[in-house]
Amino acid sequence: MKTCKLALIGFGNVGQGFAQILRDQQETISALGLNCLIVAVSDLHKGSIYQPQGFSPADLLQAVKEGSSLENLPAQARGWSAEETIRQSGADVLVELSYTDLQTGEPATGHVRLALQEGMHVITTNKGPVALHYPALQALAQQKGLKLGIEGTVMSGTPSMQLGGELLAGAGVFKIQGILNGTTNYILSQMETGAPYAEALAGAQQKGYAEADPTGDVEGYDAAGKVVILANVLMGASLTLSQIQREGITRLTPADIQSAQAAGERWKLIASLEKTPAGEILASVRPTRLPQAHPLASVGGATNAITFSTALLGDVTLIGPGAGRLATGYAILSDLLAIYRA
Ligand code: HSE
């Protein structure tokens, strides 16, 4: 059995989803040979605590449920900043779950860099550092002999990065297309049943699909960030967000949705990435009206889908959850298992 000490930066939806998995799936995880100990949690709003023997995930979740500061739990140290947590917790793995900022990638990028410099593996579901600084962070991890786990940045725990980056690495991926944002897909599905936009968005927030600032979802920035991640991590490109042609769903009206339905079609926010024979990368995120017979038209709710077009296998499609507490919490576990298997 390998014991793995974890420090969590951020204890919002994803951190709580991961804690829930550790609480409820302990037997499964032990059977895989892993003993996970959360030795530190640092959250701007919920408090910061450190305990070398580890916290019970159930206690962490209970404190949040009661609206009580984590700092009311028995702990050896309290009030540490994220930096102090990284430097002083003695964790093996930093789990970086602070809010996504696709403009600067901060503060998350600083946390990831510091943890790697301090000799910790890093797992992050935060799209900022990966969309903006992946090559440099990955080079630092490699130089230090450490792993940088990023499965949860695209399609939450559905293993799109592992599929594209490892299993299809030799298949000649030249095009990637899909539905990569759970919030907007959920909103569009709800609006098809007659729900008003604001109510559908509130539902996505309540279910933990939306970003802290949902503008990133509905204006297509989140999906565009994922396109950048796919391009740069899987296709060796060096795209930036500004190079993605981007349009969100906010201009779609209930009338647009109804008229598509009347014509046997559906609006979907489609992300697309294609390498031309000349080596140019064309990338976009835009609402697209699909016939109901199209394979992506039936992907509803917060479910996502990705199709890799490859030279050797033709099209390979993966469908699964794209957002949500448990689904994204699972991405952390899958990265942890990959680190410890290696
Ligand atoms: N806000 C994102 C979504 C979360 O709705 O898809 C997962 O990246």
- In this predicted model, what pLDDT tens digit does every residue of 251-280 receive, in sequence order? 999 999 999 999 999 999 999 999 998 988
In this prediction, residues 214-233 reach a mean pLDDT of 97
Read off the pLDDT band of 144 (50, 70, 90): very high
pLDDT of residue 105: 96
Ligand 1 contact via 156 beta carbon (within 6 Å): yes
Pairing relationship of beta strands 265-275 and 173-179 according to DSSP bridges: antiparallel
Q: Quick one: which atom of ligand 1 is closest to the CA of 183?
A: 5
Which of 153, 190, 209 maximizes ligand 1 atoms within 8 Å of its Cβ, making it the mutation to test the pocket?
Answer: 209
Which pLDDT does position 169 carry in this prediction? 95
Q: Which of 5, 46, 147, 226 is catalytic?
A: 226
pLDDT at 272: 98
Q: What is the CA radius of gyration of the chain?
A: 20
pLDDT value at residue 295: 87
Q: Provide the pLDDT for residue 279.
A: 86
Q: What phi, psi does 52 have (nearest 5°)?
A: -60, -25
Residue 226 CA, closest ligand 1 atom number: 8
Q: Which atom of ligand 1 is nearest to the CA of 211?
A: 1
Question: Which residue owns the Cα nearest ligand 1 atom 4?
Answer: 323
> Over the chain, what HEC string results?
CEEEEEEEECCCHHHHHHHHHHHHCHHHHHHCCEEEEEEEEEECCCEEEEEEEEECHHHHHHHHHCCCCHHHCCCCEECCCHHHHHHHCCCCEEEECCCCCCCCCCCHHHHHHHHHHCCCEEEECCHHHHHHHHHHHHHHHHHHCCCEECHHHCCCCCCHHHHHHHHCCCCCEEEEEEECCHHHHHHHHHHHCCCCHHHHHHHHHHCCCCCCCCHHHHCCHHHHHHHHHHHHHHCCCCCCHHHCEECCCCCCCHHHHHHHHHCCEEEEEEEEEEECCCCCEEEEEEEEEEECCCCCCCCCCCEEEEEEEECCCEEEEEEEECCCHHHHHHHHHHHHHHHHHC
* pLDDT(342) > 90: no
Annotation says 226 is catalytic = yes
Q: Are 256 and 217 in contact (CB under 8 A)?
A: no
Question: Is residue 272 within 6 Å of ligand 1 at its C-beta?
Answer: no
Give residue-wise pLDDT tens across range 10-43: 999 999 999 999 999 999 999 999 999 999 999 9
- Region 75-82: mean pLDDT is 98
pLDDT at 6 over 90: yes
pLDDT 10s digits, 47-60: 999 999 999 999 99
Mean pLDDT of 289-312: 95
Give me the percent of the chain exceeding a pLDDT of 90: 96
User: How far, in Å, is the centroid of ligand 1 from the Cα of 143?
Assistant: 31
Q: Give the ligand 1 atom nearest the CA of 153.
A: 8
Instruction: For residue 320, give the nearest of 223, 185, 217 by alpha carbon.
Output: 185
Residue 65 pLDDT more than 90? yes
Verify whether ligand 1 is closer than 6 Å to residue 210 (CB atom): yes
pLDDT 10s digits, 149-170 = 999 999 999 999 999 999 999 9
159 lines ligand 1 (CB under 6 A): no
Q: Mean pLDDT score of the chain, rounded to an integer?
A: 96
Q: Residue 212: pLDDT band by 50, 70, 90 thresholds?
A: confident
Residue 341: is its pLDDT beyond 90? no
The token duo for 89 is 């917790």
Among 150, 181, 303, which is best to mutate for testing ligand 1, by the most ligand atoms less than 8 A from CB? 181
